[in-house]
């Protein structure tokens, strides 16, 4: 039960962050480790800033 | 992933028959019962049944037969995950993201305006429009983009129809965006005019957002949840404090503006917000509005289920003949462009070919996201319709009719509206204003205030408390204003980048988004474009919404027609001609609606041209027509109407050009006996290394 709740909470946080244009940080770190081990891993704060800038770079926008 | 090949079990069949019978029964009650008010639950239940059946049967039919989606085929996210944009993501997370991106003010405003014809026409168009047009568009464009590496609508149009039609369509998108921003900003202006309480709370969001921005940047980087909770508490506090502002003789005048002043304030604000660094104002506001939006939509659903209001509006009113005060024009075509978002929204084709296709882990999930997401949006539209139709019809018409028709006092308004057949007393109107803590409810067009009164009543019914109606009203206004302003900020930025790109073709250095000259110049142009239409709305004789909303509807449905045309072209190119009607029929329907509405707005009694001529003729005789106060204002109204007429003609020309290009491509593809669509080649899921969600 506790594990299930924790998983559900993680999903909710992931959804809420994605709605704000911030993808899952852990997934990104895992991706870097697996595919680009030579690249430095940014901190969550740096990752967040980069994504925040990228969200308003031009494509899409919001719906009416 | 379930497959169409598996026949349903007997129990499953029985369940679907039961849903169909219940749905048909509820729909029958909604459509056929006359003379006595019905409960909103009938309408909600009918909607749920129609959506569930549409999703299970028509959605599945499109998935398997028309699109031939294949869960063994690797999606863009699986083929080249990059951890940032292309990320295979859990389908519920994608669903939440997609819904948050498509849900906006549109589905809340359109149905409220359309309620002047009664609840039945709007309901039927939302239910069947979404199942056969809106959800089809969203789903098909999403699937098309999935098969094309997550490419954008513009890119796909260039590939499948040709370079020129692609560019023409994107020009249409830019103009559409300017109209969207103007009309949404006008909704806010209408809601805040002479409302110190509302204006104060909306103004308070600026310092709150700045505080959140600093917190997120320096104090606790990236802690969105924390900062959003802080923001929400401050927002609620500002609504509570707003009452004291409105009641204070010294503070109230500081936040009491007329429509013109508010329009200028919004223009100035839009300029600043899109020039400032995004982390400071735009992003924190965006977070707050996203969460508030989802939360409030949930709250509205809960309130409707618990309060189960009676629908006081008639099923069909006399205004289906086109003489309605809220917007002019007959049921056909104007119902179908007034309710754009909620039934079918062209704007979604941009979202469905934006971030979402890059997140799906399997093609088998596209129906839930694309088709299902749009059904959710339609449900929001149904709720907005319920909120409006459960108001006293007299109050509804008092709020949504222009002052030119109902006058400016409660007595005049009550008399005029009672003559229309919706008996209401001046007391009822002043009492409503008092309940919501405003000086007057007259001529607060634009949908937002009406919805806010409807919501406040519903919420007040489930959470009673002395004076709480006014709190809920201002909460609802704030919720709408907040996400409309976020759309305006973000849209201005997007528009600025688009303009800089075009300007870069003429003078290269202007393209640099980091350069202050290019930035300020392009932002000024962008703000100027939507600001022109916003200001025009603020000084419009019929209150603005009456004029600008049809223009917005025409533009939005035009984009939907283009997106559905693209889907039609691709179906033919894939040599699945027998299913060409699936996107083809709604495309034709929308083309017919846009052209018919465009024609009515171009020539004839309710056209922009007629309005311009009326004012020009009066000016020539030296007469002044309200609301113009001098000759210059008369002249401005004439010019504005000619500009609107020109824009309508441009939209019609655009649709016709796209139809010509579309037909040309369809004829060519029909003659070739092998598929010619530009899909990426098949890659089996097993062959890629994308990390599973």
Tell me, yes or no, whether B414 lies in a domain: yes
Domain range enclosing A31 = 2-55
Q: What angle do CA B224, B227, B229 make, to 5 degrees?
A: 105
Q: CB of A51 within 8 Å of any CB in chain B? A: yes
What sign does the dihedral B401-B193-B529-B641 (CA atoms) show?
positive
Residue of B77, B97, B491 to mutate, interface with A, max A Cβ within 10 Å: B97
CA distance B658 to chain A (A): 22
Task: Inspect the interface and report whether the beta carbons of A14 and B494 lie closer than 8 Å.
Answer: no
Residue spans of alpha helices (H) in B574-630: 581-602, 608-620
Task: Inspect the interface and report whether the beta carbons of B224 and A16 lie closer than 8 Å.
Answer: yes
What sign does the dihedral B223-B226-B228-B234 (CA atoms) show?
negative
- Phi first, then psi: what are they for B230, rounded to 5°? -60, -45
Copy the structure tokens of residue B133: 């047009």
The answer for residues whose C-beta is within 8 angstroms of residue B389's C-beta and 6 or more apart is B40, B115, B118, B119, B311, B312, B313
pLDDT of residue B35: 76
pLDDT of residue A62: 61
CA dihedral B114, B115, B121, B122 (to 10 degrees): 60
Tell me, yes or no, whether B141 lies in a domain: yes
- A28 vs B contacts (CB less than 8 Å): 83-84, 87
Residue among B655, B665, B653 nearest B590 (CA) = B655
Copy the structure tokens of residue B220: 């606790």
Tell me, yes or no, whether A42 lies in a domain: yes
CA-based nearest residue in chain B for residue A20: B287
CA-based nearest residue in chain B for residue A11: B93
Contact B473, B452 (CB under 8 A): yes
Give pairs for B225-231: CB < 8 Å, separation 24+. B225/A13, B225/A16, B227/B284, B227/B287, B228/B287, B228/B288, B228/B291, B231/B284, B231/B287, B231/B288
Query: Cα–Cα distances in Å, from B153 out to B173, B320, B351?
Result: 10, 36, 9
Instruction: Indicate the residue of B83, B351, B497 with minimum beta-carbon distance to A28.
Output: B83
Tell me, yes or no, whether A60 lies in a domain: no
Task: Inspect the interface and report whether the beta carbons of A57 and B487 lie closer than 8 Å.
Answer: no
Tell me, yes or no, whether B177 lies in a domain: yes
Q: Looking at residue B387, what DSSP letter applies?
A: H
pLDDT tens digits for B33-74?
877 889 999 999 999 999 999 999 999 999 999 999 999 999
What sign does the dihedral B531-B533-B535-B538 (CA atoms) show?
negative
Q: CB of B290 within 8 Å of any CB in chain A? A: yes
Instruction: Indicate the residue of B222, B341, B691 with minimum beta-carbon distance to A64.
Output: B341
Average pLDDT of span B178-186:
93
Q: CB of A42 within 8 Å of any CB in chain B? A: no
CA distance A2 to chain B (A): 20
Instruction: Indicate the residue of B83, B490, B552 with minimum beta-carbon distance to A56.
Output: B490
pLDDT of residue B690: 47
Q: Which of B116-130, B478-492, B611-625 has the highest mean pLDDT?
A: B116-130
Task: Inspect the interface and report whether the beta carbons of B87 and A24 lie closer than 8 Å.
Answer: yes
Q: ipTM of this predicted complex?
A: 0.93
Task: Inspect the interface and report whether the beta carbons of A20 and B498 lie closer than 8 Å.
Answer: no
Task: Inspect the interface and report whether the beta carbons of B350 and A61 lie closer than 8 Å.
Answer: yes
Task: Inspect the interface and report whether the beta carbons of A64 and B105 lie closer than 8 Å.
Answer: yes
Contact B610, B595 (CB under 8 A): no
pLDDT tens digits for B125-169?
999 999 999 999 999 999 999 999 999 999 999 999 999 999 898
Instruction: Indicate the residue of A32, A53, A64 with minimum beta-carbon distance to B106.
Output: A64
Tell me, yes or no, whether A64 lies in a domain: no
Query: Cα–Cα distances in Å, from B21 out to B45, B46, B50, B264, B324?
Result: 12, 10, 11, 54, 35
Average pLDDT of span A28-57:
91
pLDDT band at B5 (very low <50, low <70, confident <90, very high): low
Average pLDDT of span B429-443:
94
Instruction: Indicate the residue of B93, B483, B493 with minimum beta-carbon distance to A11.
Output: B93
- A37 vs B contacts (CB less than 8 Å): none
What angle separates helix B545-573 from helix B331-338, to the nearest 10 degrees? 80
Q: How many CB pairs under 8 A join A and B?
A: 135
Average pLDDT of span B391-408:
94
Domain range enclosing B58 = 10-194+257-671
Q: What is the mean pLDDT of chain A?
A: 87
Query: Cα–Cα distances in Å, from B652 out to B341, B657, B681, B683?
Result: 20, 9, 37, 41
Number of domains forming the structure of chain B: 1
Percent of chain A with pLDDT over 90: 64
pLDDT tens digits for B228-267?
999 999 999 999 999 999 999 999 999 999 999 999 999 9
Residue spans of alpha helices (H) in chain A: 2-19, 25-35, 44-55
Tell me, yes or no, whether A38 lies in a domain: yes
- Say yes or no to pLDDT of A42 above 50: yes
Instruction: Indicate the residue of A15, A59, A64 with minimum beta-carbon distance to B354.
Output: A59
Instruction: Indicate the residue of B82, B184, B294 with minimum beta-carbon distance to A31.
Output: B82
Number of domains forming the structure of chain A: 1
Cβ of B497: how many Cβ atoms within 10 Å? 22
The answer for residues whose C-beta is within 8 angstroms of residue B274's C-beta and 6 or more apart is B282, B489, B492, B493, B496, B523, B526, B527
Average pLDDT of span B434-445:
92
Tell me, yes or no, whether B681 lies in a domain: no
Helix (H) or strand (E) holding B397: helix B393-400
pLDDT of residue A59: 57
SS3 B86: coil
CA distance A20 to chain B (A): 6
pLDDT of residue A63: 63
Query: Cα–Cα distances in Å, from B306 out to B379, B390, B436?
Result: 16, 14, 21
Give me the residues of B, 221-240, that contact A with CB < 8 A: 221-222, 224-225
Tell me, yes or no, whether B648 lies in a domain: yes
Three-state secondary structure of B343-372: CCCCCHHHHHCCCHHHCECCHHHHHHHHHH
pLDDT tens digits for B528-577?
999 999 999 998 888 888 889 999 999 999 999 999 999 999 999 999 99
Q: What is the mean pLDDT of chain B?
A: 92
Q: Which of B1-5, B191-195, B524-528, B554-558 has the lowest mean pLDDT?
A: B1-5
């Amino acid at each position: 039960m506790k594990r299930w709740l924790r998983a559900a909470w993680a999903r909710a946080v992931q959804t809420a962050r994605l709605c704000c244009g911030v993808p899952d940080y852990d997934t990104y770190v895992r991706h870097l480790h697996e595919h680009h081990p030579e690249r430095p891993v940014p901190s969550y704060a740096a990752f967040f800033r980069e994504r925040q800038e990228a969200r308003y770079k031009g494509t899409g926008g919001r719906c009416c | 992933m379930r497959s169409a090949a598996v026949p349903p079990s007997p129990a499953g069949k029985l369940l679907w028959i039961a849903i169909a019978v219940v749905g048909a029964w509820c729909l029958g009650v909604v459509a056929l019962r006359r003379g006595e008010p019905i409960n909103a639950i009938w309408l909600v239940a009918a909607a749920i049944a129609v959506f569930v059946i549409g999703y299970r049967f028509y959605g599945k039919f499109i998935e398997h037969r028309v699109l031939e989606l294949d869960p063994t085929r690797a999606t863009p996210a699986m083929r080249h995950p990059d951890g940032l944009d292309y990320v295979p993501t859990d389908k519920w997370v994608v669903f939440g993201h997609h819904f948050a991106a498509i849900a906006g003010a549109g589905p809340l405003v359109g149905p409220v305006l359309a309620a002047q014809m009664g609840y039945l026409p709007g309901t039927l168009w939302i239910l069947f429009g979404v199942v056969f047009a809106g959800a089809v568009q969203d789903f098909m464009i999403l699937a098309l983009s999935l098969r094309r590496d997550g490419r954008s609508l513009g890119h796909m149009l260039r590939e499948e129809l040709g370079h020129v039609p692609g560019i023409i369509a994107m020009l249409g998108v830019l103009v559409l965006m300017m109209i969207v921003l103007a009309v949404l900003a006008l909704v806010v202006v209408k809601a805040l005019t002479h409302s110190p309480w509302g204006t104060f709370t909306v103004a308070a969001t600026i310092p709150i957002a700045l505080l959140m921005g600093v917190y997120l940047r320096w104090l606790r980087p990236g802690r969105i949840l924390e900062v959003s909770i802080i923001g929400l508490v401050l927002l609620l506090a500002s609504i509570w404090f707003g009452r004291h502002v409105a009641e204070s003789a010294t503070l109230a005048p500081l936040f009491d503006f007329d429509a013109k002043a508010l329009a200028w304030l919004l223009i100035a604000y839009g300029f600043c917000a899109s020039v400032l660094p995004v982390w400071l104002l735009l992003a924190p506001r965006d977070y707050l509005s996203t969460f508030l939006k989802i939360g409030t939509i949930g709250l509205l659903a809960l309130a409707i289920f618990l309060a189960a209001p009676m629908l006081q509006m008639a099923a069909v009113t006399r205004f289906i003949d086109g003489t309605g005060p809220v917007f002019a024009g007959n049921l056909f075509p104007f119902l179908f462009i007034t309710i754009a978002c909620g039934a079918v929204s062209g704007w979604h084709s941009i979202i469905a070919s934006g971030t979402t296709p890059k997140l799906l882990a399997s093609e088998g999930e596209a129906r839930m996201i694309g088709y299902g997401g749009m059904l959710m949006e339609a449900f929001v539209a149904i709720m907005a319709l319920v909120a409006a139709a459960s108001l006293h019809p007299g109050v509804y018409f008092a709020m949504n009719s222009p002052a030119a028709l109902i006058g400016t006092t409660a007595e005049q308004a009550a008399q005029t509206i009672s003559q229309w057949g919706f008996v209401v007393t001046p007391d009822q109107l002043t009492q409503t204003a008092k309940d919501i803590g405003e000086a007057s409810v007259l001529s607060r067009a634009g949908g937002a205030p009406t919805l806010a009164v409807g919501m406040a009543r519903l919420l007040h019914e489930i959470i009673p408390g002395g004076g709480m109606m006014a709190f809920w009203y201002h909460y609802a206004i704030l919720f709408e204003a907040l996400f409309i302003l976020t759309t305006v900020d973000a849209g201005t930025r997007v528009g600025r980048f688009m303009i800089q790109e075009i300007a870069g073709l003429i003078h290269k250095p202007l393209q640099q988004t980091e350069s202050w000259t290019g930035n300020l110049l392009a932002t000024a142009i962008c703000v100027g474009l939507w600001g022109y239409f916003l200001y025009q709305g603020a000084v419009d004789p019929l209150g603005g919404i009456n004029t600008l909303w049809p223009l917005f509807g025409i533009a939005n449905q035009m984009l939907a027609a283009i997106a559905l045309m693209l889907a039609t072209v691709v179906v033919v190119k894939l040599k699945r001609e027998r299913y060409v009607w699936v996107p083809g029929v709604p495309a034709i329907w929308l083309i017919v609606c846009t052209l018919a509405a465009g024609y009515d707005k171009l020539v004839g009694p309710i056209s922009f041209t007629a309005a311009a001529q009326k004012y020009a003729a009066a000016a020539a005789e030296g007469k002044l027509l309200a609301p113009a106060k001098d000759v210059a204002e008369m002249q401005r109204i004439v010019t504005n109407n000619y500009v609107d007429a020109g824009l309508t003609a441009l939209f019609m020309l655009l649709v016709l050009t796209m139809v010509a290009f579309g037909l040309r491509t369809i004829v060519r593809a029909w003659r070739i006996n092998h598929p010619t669509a530009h899909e990426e080649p098949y890659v089996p899921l097993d062959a890629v290394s994308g990390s599973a969600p």
